[in-house]
Structure 1
Amino acid sequence: MILVTGGTGLVGAHLLYHLLKNDEKIRAIYRSEERIKKVQQVFSYYTDDAAALISKIEWFKADITDVPSMIPAFIGVEKVYHCAAFISFNPKDYREMRKVNIHGTAIIVNLAIDAKVNKICFVGSIASVGDSLKGELITEENEWNPESDNSGYSITKFGAEMEIWRASQEGVDVVIVNPGVILGSGFFAAGSGKIFSQVYNGLKYYTEGVTGFVGVKDVVDAMIKLMNSSVKNEHFILVSENKSFKEIFFSIADAFGKKRPTNNIKPWQTAIFWKVSWVLSLVSRKEPLLSKYSARSAHSVSKYSSEKIKKTIPFQFEKIDTVIKEVSQKYVKSLSEIPLN
């Protein structure tokens, strides 16, 4: 039995489909039936038999931060894919991120140890990989610096990784993947999916910051291959290409046949905007449109190397332009789809 947490998120949904293709017996954690409909939508991008595939999954209603609800989920489990996470760059969400990302992972680890699980695959992030000090490519050897001005998300993802490494010390084999910005179909109202909807609707602005990007199918492929291999107690950066946000926005606009963004936003402009946005959020009590950390990342230049995974297992990444074309097609298709009942 394979247990998947975060199965109703971007990585988890695509992972579930590919595990089912391998005829695996799967149990997936969920919190609401509405989220399962999103998984069915993702499945529909792969097959016309999405509903039948969904029914093969043993859906288990639980909260990863609640021990009593999670204990039964580990009965008979041999492998765990831990994809669940709280992603936010809003400082107000820090306590909740600690609860989900660190405390929730600690619970997963404790139950995995008690259940004598064979192996855990954890979906980390490049946010928990150290920065480059000399402008060189960032590798798995770069150490995360706790004294840097890290975002709450970065802090909690690093804390979660520490819990996963604890599992390896307690006899459970682990692998950690650290993906860059993940591009994939099915969740266009949140996360990286919003980039596609914003560009489609006429995004006018861009920045020239650089980071690593990767397709969701490559992330899932790497996870499954690592879990089915003898590789253990290692972590791997998953980045297909290092691209500027300008390049990404332009590629998406081209894929849609839309006008490219024309206004280059400078660092001083985003610095003013995030501060104004923060003040307005205090008055409106709504989430700020831009945070200090998202503003900073929009202009920072961080380049990553994925040579380690290429040397460890047979693996090749899909080009980002190819990923963008496919996801753009799925987005257009989603606009004409009747919502799943």
Structure 2
Amino acid sequence: MIFVTGGSGLIGSFLIPALIARGEQVRALYRQHIPAVPAAEQVEWLQGDLLDPLLLRQALESVTHVFHCAGLVSYAPQDEDALLQINVEGTANLVDACLERPGIRLCHVSSVAALGGGAASEETLNTLPLVVTEDAKWDLGAAHAAYATSKYLGELEVWRGISEGLAAVIVNPSVILGPADWTRSSTRLLRYAYQEHRFYTPGTINVVDVREVVAQMLRLGLELPVRGERYILSAEAVPLRELLAQAARCFGKKPPTTAVPNWAAEVIWRLEHARGVLTGSRPLITKDTARAGRQPLVYEAGKVQRTTGLGFRPVADTIAWCCEELRRNVVASGAVVVS
């Protein structure tokens, strides 16, 4: 029996069908509505959340493997407490529940953000590319985004479990691309290209195909005896303008043409912060999102390729696949995309 958290998220929506296709028994956690994922009728769904320790202990009854995919991704100041609750406290609860069941294996989905590279600071922006590996150390003196801090602290909970005997492996994906709900998470990048927005920010973005994230997780979590290790999952670092342009071409749309200068981005996030404070609304751009990609980073994924023997497909192929699937979904649903 395999227990999956985050079944309605991007990774979960591809992981669960992959597990079912392998003939595995799957139990998955959901909060409000059972996700409309392929093979959902073959899943044992359990309603609840990560903040209920008793529920998690019950959920692990007869379970041999856990894939912890649930997590909150947000850069809005209003979500700082929620990030700590879900990404840290929730992970701690799951680790504690796993420790009560000797022999269970955990595959924890962290993030490259937890590696500490690229903390936002004006002094380090626009420097030479920095290559980041699994050996990167978290700089306690740097200014980190609340999301990055929550993923780092959540990962520490898994390392705590490992020190207490838990068989666990950690994966650190970069920005995951897949044809999911494009009003959420990283898929919004493709929606932005579809809507023919003119503006883009200079900089790079590290991306990976959701299918390859799932393939690596299955290999590490089910097939190999690795434990006490973390692995970067990232295919390539590409200029954001190039990614948006490729997506726009696949959609038959006009690509963005106007770069937002760094000084303008600095002004905009400050204005947005002030608007959020005055109105209580969520800022469209935060300091962290405005500065994202301006310090060139390359996340090196050689370790996982050497361990699993699995590679990564070209980013252009991933973009083409995502756009084709999203376009088909839009046509099928008759949806009207608005800005």
TM superposition score normalised by structure 1: 0.92
Query: Which residue of structure 1 aligns with residue 213 of structure 2?
Result: 219
For residues 211 and 36 of structure 1, the distance between their equivalents in structure 2, rounded to whole angstroms, comes to 29
Tell me the CA shift for residue 116 of structure 1.
2.2
Assess if the C-alpha contact under 8 Å between 1:25 and 1:57 holds in 2. yes
For residues 190 and 177 of structure 2, the distance between their equivalents in structure 1, rounded to whole angstroms, comes to 9
Matches within 5 A, 1:112-123: 112-123=98-109
Tell me the CA shift for residue 117 of structure 1.
4.5
Tell me the CA shift for residue 129 of structure 1.
0.9
Matches within 5 A, 1:159-170: 159-170=153-164
For residues 53 and 46 of structure 2, the distance between their equivalents in structure 1, rounded to whole angstroms, comes to 14
Query: Which residue of structure 2 aligns with residue 71 of structure 1?
Result: 57
Matches within 5 A, 1:80-91: 80-91=66-77
For residues 143 and 242 of structure 2, the distance between their equivalents in structure 1, rounded to whole angstroms, comes to 27
Q: Secondary structure at the match of 1:153?
A: helix
Query: Which residue of structure 2 aligns with residue 47 of structure 1?
Result: none
Query: Which residue of structure 2 aligns with residue 143 of structure 1?
Result: 137
Query: Which residue of structure 2 aligns with residue 285 of structure 1?
Result: 280
Identify the match of residue 235 of structure 2 among 240, 262, 265. Answer: 240
Query: Which residue of structure 1 aligns with residue 337 of structure 2?
Result: none
The one-character-per-residue Cα deviations of 1:273-321 (angstroms, maximum 9, x if unpaired) are 1111111112222110001111111423111111111111211101110
2:192 alignment partner AA: Q
For residues 262 and 239 of structure 1, the distance between their equivalents in structure 2, rounded to whole angstroms, comes to 27
2:306 alignment partner AA: K
Assess if the C-alpha contact under 8 Å between 1:77 and 1:117 holds in 2. no
Query: Which residue of structure 2 aligns with residue 49 of structure 1?
Result: none
Tell me the CA shift for residue 119 of structure 1.
1.0
The one-character-per-residue Cα deviations of 1:215-270 (angstroms, maximum 9, x if unpaired) are 10110100000012111111011110111111111111111121110101111111
Q: Secondary structure at the match of 1:36?
A: coil
2:23 alignment partner AA: D
For residues 212 and 90 of structure 1, the distance between their equivalents in structure 2, rounded to whole angstroms, comes to 21
Query: Which residue of structure 2 aligns with residue 126 of structure 1?
Result: 112
Unaligned runs of 5+ in 1: 44-52
For residues 230 and 169 of structure 2, the distance between their equivalents in structure 1, rounded to whole angstroms, comes to 6
For residues 281 and 54 of structure 2, the distance between their equivalents in structure 1, rounded to whole angstroms, comes to 33
Q: Secondary structure at the match of 2:265?
A: helix
The one-character-per-residue Cα deviations of 1:75-127 (angstroms, maximum 9, x if unpaired) are 11111000110111112211111011000000000000112242100111110
Q: Secondary structure at the match of 2:285?
A: coil
Shift in CA distance, 325/84, structure 1 to aligned 2, threshold 3 Å: same
1:26 alignment partner AA: V
For residues 204 and 168 of structure 1, the distance between their equivalents in structure 2, rounded to whole angstroms, comes to 48
For residues 338 and 201 of structure 1, the distance between their equivalents in structure 2, rounded to whole angstroms, comes to 17
Query: Which residue of structure 2 aligns with residue 187 of structure 1?
Result: 181
Assess if the C-alpha contact under 8 Å between 1:29 and 1:59 holds in 2. yes
Query: Which residue of structure 1 aligns with residue 95 of structure 2?
Result: 109
Assess if the C-alpha contact under 8 Å between 2:129 and 2:295 holds in 1. no
Query: Which residue of structure 1 aligns with residue 35 of structure 2?
Result: 36
Tell me the CA shift for residue 130 of structure 1.
3.1
Cα RMSD (Å): 1.5
Query: Which residue of structure 2 aligns with residue 178 of structure 1?
Result: 172
For residues 286 and 130 of structure 1, the distance between their equivalents in structure 2, rounded to whole angstroms, comes to 29
For residues 61 and 247 of structure 2, the distance between their equivalents in structure 1, rounded to whole angstroms, comes to 44
Query: Which residue of structure 2 aligns with residue 50 of structure 1?
Result: none
For residues 148 and 157 of structure 2, the distance between their equivalents in structure 1, rounded to whole angstroms, comes to 15
1:75 alignment partner AA: E
Assess if the C-alpha contact under 8 Å between 1:80 and 1:117 holds in 2. no
TM superposition score normalised by structure 2: 0.93
The answer to whether residue 247 in structure 2 is matched with residue 252 in structure 1 is yes
Deviates more, 1:261-270 or 1:133-142: 133-142
Assess if the C-alpha contact under 8 Å between 2:130 and 2:296 holds in 1. no
Assess if the C-alpha contact under 8 Å between 1:206 and 1:264 holds in 2. yes
Q: Secondary structure at the match of 1:192?
A: helix
Matches within 5 A, 1:302-321: 302-321=297-316
Query: Which residue of structure 1 aligns with residue 21 of structure 2?
Result: 21
